[in-house]
Amino acid sequence: MHLAQTYAFDTPLTGRHHVTFAHSLELPSQVRTGRLSGSAAWKVELTFTQQFVQALHTAGATVLEGSLRLGTAIESPETTAQIAIPLTLPPTGLPAAGTLLVHATGTAPPLSFSRAGTGLWSVSKASFHLRPQRADGSPTSVGGFNADALLGTGEPTLLGEFTIAS
Protein backbone atom coordinates (compact mmCIF):
# COMPACT_ATOMS: atom_id res chain seq x y z
CA MET A 1 0.00 0.00 0.00
CA HIS A 2 1.30 3.44 -0.92
CA LEU A 3 0.08 7.01 -0.44
CA ALA A 4 1.60 10.44 -1.12
CA GLN A 5 0.37 13.48 0.86
CA THR A 6 1.40 17.04 1.69
CA TYR A 7 0.95 18.52 5.15
CA ALA A 8 1.64 21.96 6.66
CA PHE A 9 2.99 22.46 10.18
CA ASP A 10 3.91 25.43 12.35
CA THR A 11 7.26 25.74 14.11
CA PRO A 12 8.76 28.12 16.65
CA LEU A 13 11.51 28.77 14.07
CA THR A 14 9.88 30.65 11.22
CA GLY A 15 6.19 29.80 11.20
CA ARG A 16 4.50 27.52 8.70
CA HIS A 17 6.35 24.93 6.63
CA HIS A 18 5.29 22.12 4.32
CA VAL A 19 6.38 18.49 4.27
CA THR A 20 5.53 15.68 1.88
CA PHE A 21 4.81 12.18 3.09
CA ALA A 22 5.33 9.05 0.98
CA HIS A 23 3.70 6.22 2.96
CA SER A 24 4.50 2.55 2.42
CA LEU A 25 2.77 -0.24 4.35
CA GLU A 26 3.59 -3.91 3.88
CA LEU A 27 0.11 -5.31 4.53
CA PRO A 28 -1.08 -8.43 2.72
CA SER A 29 -3.82 -7.84 0.16
CA GLN A 30 -5.97 -10.37 2.02
CA VAL A 31 -6.53 -11.18 5.70
CA ARG A 32 -8.66 -13.98 7.13
CA THR A 33 -11.56 -13.50 9.55
CA GLY A 34 -10.87 -14.73 13.06
CA ARG A 35 -7.08 -14.59 12.64
CA LEU A 36 -4.55 -11.91 13.50
CA SER A 37 -2.93 -10.44 10.40
CA GLY A 38 0.44 -9.98 12.06
CA SER A 39 2.10 -6.62 12.53
CA ALA A 40 3.30 -4.77 9.43
CA ALA A 41 6.23 -2.45 8.73
CA TRP A 42 5.10 1.13 8.11
CA LYS A 43 7.56 3.48 6.43
CA VAL A 44 7.18 7.17 5.63
CA GLU A 45 9.65 9.06 3.50
CA LEU A 46 9.41 12.67 4.65
CA THR A 47 10.67 15.53 2.49
CA PHE A 48 11.11 18.80 4.37
CA THR A 49 11.46 22.01 2.36
CA GLN A 50 14.65 23.97 1.78
CA GLN A 51 13.17 26.83 3.83
CA PHE A 52 12.73 24.53 6.83
CA VAL A 53 16.33 23.28 6.46
CA GLN A 54 17.57 26.89 6.35
CA ALA A 55 15.58 27.70 9.51
CA LEU A 56 17.17 24.71 11.27
CA HIS A 57 20.65 25.88 10.21
CA THR A 58 19.87 29.40 11.50
CA ALA A 59 19.02 27.84 14.89
CA GLY A 60 22.42 26.11 14.88
CA ALA A 61 21.18 22.60 13.99
CA THR A 62 23.16 20.06 11.99
CA VAL A 63 20.94 17.05 12.79
CA LEU A 64 17.18 16.48 13.06
CA GLU A 65 15.53 13.60 14.89
CA GLY A 66 12.20 12.97 16.54
CA SER A 67 8.97 11.09 16.28
CA LEU A 68 5.83 11.09 14.16
CA ARG A 69 2.35 9.95 15.14
CA LEU A 70 -0.12 9.18 12.37
CA GLY A 71 -3.88 9.30 12.84
CA THR A 72 -5.32 6.47 10.74
CA ALA A 73 -8.67 4.75 10.33
CA ILE A 74 -9.63 1.28 9.18
CA GLU A 75 -13.11 0.91 7.79
CA SER A 76 -14.38 -2.68 7.68
CA PRO A 77 -17.79 -4.39 7.37
CA GLU A 78 -18.07 -4.50 11.17
CA THR A 79 -16.75 -1.09 12.28
CA THR A 80 -14.49 1.89 11.73
CA ALA A 81 -11.49 1.81 14.05
CA GLN A 82 -9.17 4.74 14.77
CA ILE A 83 -5.55 3.59 15.09
CA ALA A 84 -2.57 5.74 16.04
CA ILE A 85 0.70 4.68 14.42
CA PRO A 86 3.92 5.84 16.15
CA LEU A 87 7.03 6.19 13.97
CA THR A 88 10.63 7.12 14.73
CA LEU A 89 12.55 9.79 12.83
CA PRO A 90 16.19 8.68 13.20
CA PRO A 91 18.98 11.24 13.59
CA THR A 92 19.46 12.65 10.09
CA GLY A 93 22.18 15.07 9.06
CA LEU A 94 21.01 18.30 7.48
CA PRO A 95 22.16 19.02 3.92
CA ALA A 96 24.09 22.25 3.36
CA ALA A 97 21.31 23.30 0.97
CA GLY A 98 18.17 21.84 -0.54
CA THR A 99 15.47 19.62 0.89
CA LEU A 100 15.83 17.18 3.78
CA LEU A 101 14.83 13.54 3.30
CA VAL A 102 14.04 11.58 6.49
CA HIS A 103 13.03 7.90 6.59
CA ALA A 104 10.58 7.36 9.45
CA THR A 105 9.78 3.80 10.49
CA GLY A 106 7.20 2.16 12.70
CA THR A 107 4.91 -0.82 12.98
CA ALA A 108 1.20 -1.18 12.33
CA PRO A 109 -0.48 -3.43 14.92
CA PRO A 110 -1.92 -6.85 14.07
CA LEU A 111 -5.49 -6.72 12.82
CA SER A 112 -8.40 -9.08 13.40
CA PHE A 113 -11.83 -9.05 11.79
CA SER A 114 -14.96 -11.12 12.38
CA ARG A 115 -16.86 -10.31 9.15
CA ALA A 116 -15.72 -10.83 5.55
CA GLY A 117 -15.70 -7.98 3.05
CA THR A 118 -13.48 -5.08 2.08
CA GLY A 119 -11.25 -3.11 4.40
CA LEU A 120 -10.10 0.44 3.73
CA TRP A 121 -7.12 2.02 5.49
CA SER A 122 -6.84 5.82 5.47
CA VAL A 123 -4.43 8.40 6.90
CA SER A 124 -5.66 11.90 7.70
CA LYS A 125 -3.71 13.19 10.70
CA ALA A 126 -0.09 13.58 11.70
CA SER A 127 1.83 15.17 14.54
CA PHE A 128 5.55 15.56 15.13
CA HIS A 129 7.92 15.88 18.02
CA LEU A 130 11.08 17.28 16.42
CA ARG A 131 14.48 17.69 18.07
CA PRO A 132 16.98 19.78 16.10
CA GLN A 133 20.50 19.25 17.46
CA ARG A 134 23.94 20.79 17.17
CA ALA A 135 26.94 18.79 15.85
CA ASP A 136 27.89 17.81 19.42
CA GLY A 137 24.39 16.38 20.05
CA SER A 138 23.23 19.22 22.28
CA PRO A 139 19.84 20.84 21.65
CA THR A 140 19.58 24.06 19.68
CA SER A 141 18.13 27.29 21.08
CA VAL A 142 14.60 26.14 20.12
CA GLY A 143 15.01 22.75 21.83
CA GLY A 144 12.50 20.07 20.95
CA PHE A 145 9.03 21.09 19.82
CA ASN A 146 5.67 19.55 18.99
CA ALA A 147 3.82 20.33 15.79
CA ASP A 148 0.43 19.17 14.58
CA ALA A 149 0.51 18.71 10.82
CA LEU A 150 -2.51 19.84 8.79
CA LEU A 151 -3.40 17.81 5.71
CA GLY A 152 -3.61 19.98 2.61
CA THR A 153 -7.03 20.64 1.11
CA GLY A 154 -7.94 18.01 -1.47
CA GLU A 155 -5.08 15.70 -0.48
CA PRO A 156 -5.85 11.96 -0.75
CA THR A 157 -6.33 9.95 2.44
CA LEU A 158 -6.87 6.37 1.20
CA LEU A 159 -3.71 4.35 1.81
CA GLY A 160 -5.19 1.16 0.42
CA GLU A 161 -7.84 -1.48 0.23
CA PHE A 162 -7.63 -5.10 1.37
CA THR A 163 -9.86 -8.15 1.32
CA ILE A 164 -11.18 -9.72 4.50
CA ALA A 165 -11.84 -13.35 3.56
CA SER A 166 -13.71 -15.97 5.59
Q: For 70-84, write each residue's pLDDT tens digit.
A: 999 999 999 999 999
pTM for the full predicted model: 0.93
- Alpha carbon dihedral 151, 22, 24, 125, in 10-degree steps, equals -10
Q: For 46-104, write each residue's pLDDT tens digit.
A: 999 999 999 999 999 999 999 999 999 999 999 999 999 999 999 999 999 999 999 99
Q: Tell me the pLDDT band of 14, cut-offs 50, 70 and 90.
A: confident
CA distance 82 to 46: 23
Q: Residue 120, Cβ neighbours under 10 Å: how many?
A: 15
Specify the pLDDT at position 35.
92
Can you give the residue range of the structural domain that contains 113? 2-165
CA distance 85 to 71: 7
Mean local confidence (pLDDT), 9-16: 90
Query: Which CATH number goes with the domain that contains 6?
Result: 2.60.40
Task: Say how many domains are in the chain.
Answer: 1
> Quick one: three-class SS letters along the chain?
CEEEEEEEEEECCCEEEEEEEEEEECCCCEEECCCCCCCEEEEEEEEECHHHHHHHHHCCCCEEEEEEEEEEEEECCCCEEEEEEEEEEEEEECCCCCCEEEEEEEEECCCCCCCCEEEEEEEEEEEEEEEEECCCCCECCCCCEEEEEEECCCCCCEEEEEEEEC
Per the DSSP assignment, residues forming a β-bridge with 9 are 17, 149
